[in-house]
């Protein structure tokens, strides 16, 4: 899993004044809106006793922990501890990670990493959003597979005739002609010629008076860290799907889809569009869930590659470069404890870089139970009790 990227965590219409939980990279987050409508993303873990902030409420611009009522501002700082008597201050360490957010394409995005603003990769561009010629639908499905397997599946043109049959591919013409890739640091796209199946259902009404083409151009693409694009140019219009492959954990992925079409653009056709998207995912689901190994190998020679796999190979090469830069989730990002839920991810937020003296202050560290030695800071001195800090 890759950190230091913008991740679309939730559809914007689902985020309001009631806290909601979102999971990505194995970490839980809480999303809510301030009084002026700005989306906020914090770590979903009260620093006091580990309560889930997503189970709490919103007061003003703060989220309130449901356990002891601690209130956290959008920047992650605790500003109220109800149990404190008058005159007692709030410890500096009483804070949670706060992640930068933007709202684009009807999605709430959070930057999961600690890079300064001028070093962050861009949010992927979706030109169809807001274009009056296109109608959009939303869909989501959870898959019991690693997100890189679901990610690569969409840009794999060769599987189409076999997994999707005549619903989307043409089993009688499975060849994938050679194609060229256009790539930059954060994305790659290719126009691929595929033989289409005969249109069925509602779409056959539009295709009735048009000759069936020998090939249709399908644009497949990926956008780091987890977005893939499928653009099918049908004889009667364009269907464009953007898949957001959200890694809930190493073995579970939540796929959120924005689907755009410039035909049958009335609301009445939305249900049919959603059914077609669902059908595609349900065909992919058992195949992707059965893939072994479950995780992508780190070395290219560990799997066999064909010319038709060029988009996947381009992704794996770029992935290897980012792993070399330290952008892979692991090491200090993983906290191991002593209970049933003993492993968790803690992605550093920009505040850790901005406040090096507090960089480890609000992390729940692994403890070995009663009688354990007190946690020590990087200099080797025991950390003071947060409850006793003035």
- Give the residues across from 241 on adjacent strands: 230, 259
Rg value, the chain, Cα: 24
Burial status of residue 17 (CB atoms within 10 A of its CB: 0-12, 13-18, 19 or more): exposed
Sheet holding 71-72, edge to edge: 57-59, 62-64, 71-72, 78-80
Q: What is the DSSP annotation of 218-257?
A: EEEEEETTTEEEEEEEETTEEEEEEEEEEEEETTEEEEEE
Give the pLDDT of residue 363: 67
Spatial separation of the C-alpha atoms in residues 309 and 117, rounded to whole Å: 34
Q: Bridge partners of 189?
A: 182, 221
Q: For residue 85, what is the DSSP state?
A: P
Whether 148 contacts 296, CB under 8 Å: yes
Q: Is 124 helix (H, G, I), strand (E, B) or coil?
A: coil
For residue 77, the 8-state DSSP code is B
Bridge partners for 231 per DSSP: 219, 240
Cβ proximity of 30 and 21 under 8 Å: yes
**Please, are residues 111 and 120 in contact by the beta-carbon 8 Å criterion?**
yes
Question: Domains along the chain?
Answer: 5-119 (2.102.10.10), 135-324 (3.90.380.10)
**Nearest 10 degrees: Cα torsion 365, 368, 374, 380:** -70
| Contacts of residue 208, Cβ cutoff 8 Å, sequence gap at least 6 | none
Q: How far apart are CA 272 and CA 320, in angstroms?
A: 40
- pLDDT the model gives residue 374: 36
Give the SS3 label for residue 315.
helix
Q: Residue 353: enclosing H or E segment and its boundaries?
A: helix 350-354
Give the residues of the chain that fall short of pLDDT 50: 203, 366-390
| Closest to 146 (Cα-Cα) out of 18, 347, 296, 24 | 296
At 23-45, the pLDDT tens digits run 999 999 999 999 999 999 999 99
The sign of the dihedral angle between the CA atoms of 210, 175, 294, 335 is: negative
- Predicted local distance difference test score (pLDDT) of residue 334: 84
Q: What is the pLDDT of residue 208?
A: 54
What is the model's pLDDT at position 253? 98
Residue pLDDT, tens place only, 260-292: 999 999 999 999 999 999 999 999 999 999 999
- pLDDT of amino acid 387: 39
> What is the pLDDT, as a whole number, of residue 282?
94
């Amino acid at each position: 899993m890759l950190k230091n990227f913008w991740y679309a965590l939730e559809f914007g219409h689902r985020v309001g004044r009631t806290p909601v939980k979102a999971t990505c990279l194995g970490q839980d987050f809480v999303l809510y809106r301030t009084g002026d409508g700005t989306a906020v993303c914090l770590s979903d873990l009260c620093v006091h006793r580990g309560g889930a902030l997503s189970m709490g409420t919103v007061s003003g611009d703060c989220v309130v922990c449901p356990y002891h009522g601690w209130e956290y501002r959008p920047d992650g700082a605790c500003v109220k501890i109800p149990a404190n008597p008058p005159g007692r201050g709030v410890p500096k360490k009483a804070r949670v990670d706060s992640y930068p957010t933007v709202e684009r394409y009807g999605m709430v995005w959070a930057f999961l990493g600690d890079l300064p603003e001028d070093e962050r990769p861009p949010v992927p561009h979706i030109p169809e959003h807001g274009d009056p010629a296109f109608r959009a639908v939303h869909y989501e499905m959870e898959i019991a597979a690693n997100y890189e397997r679901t990610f690569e599946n969409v840009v794999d043109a060769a599987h189409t005739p076999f997994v999707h049959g005549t619903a989307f591919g043409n089993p009688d013409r499975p060849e994938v002609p050679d194609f060229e890739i256009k790539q930059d640091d954060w994305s790659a796209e290719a126009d691929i010629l595929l033989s289409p199946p005969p249109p069925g259902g509602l779409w056959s009404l539009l295709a009735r008076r048009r000759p069936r083409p020998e090939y249709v151009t399908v644009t497949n693409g990926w956008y780091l860290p987890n977005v893939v694009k499928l653009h099918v140019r049908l004889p009667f219009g364009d269907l464009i799907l953007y898949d957001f492959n959200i890694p809930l954990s190493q073995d579970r992925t939540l796929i959120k889809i924005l689907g755009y079409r410039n035909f049958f653009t009335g609301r009445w056709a939305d249900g049919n569009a959603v059914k077609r998207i669902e059908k595609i995912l349900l065909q992919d689901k058992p195949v992707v869930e059965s893939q072994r190994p479950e995780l992508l190998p780190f070395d290219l020679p560990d799997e066999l590659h064909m010319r038709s796999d060029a988009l996947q190979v381009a992704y794996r090469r770029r992935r290897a470069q980012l792993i070399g830069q330290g952008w892979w989730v692991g090491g200090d990002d993983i906290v191991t404890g002593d209970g049933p839920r003993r492993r968790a991810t803690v992605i550093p937020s920009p505040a850790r870089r901005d406040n090096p003296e507090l960089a480890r202050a609000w992390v729940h560290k692994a403890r070995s139970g009663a009688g354990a030695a007190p946690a020590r800071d990087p200099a080797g001195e025991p950390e003071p009790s947060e409850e006793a800090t003035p």
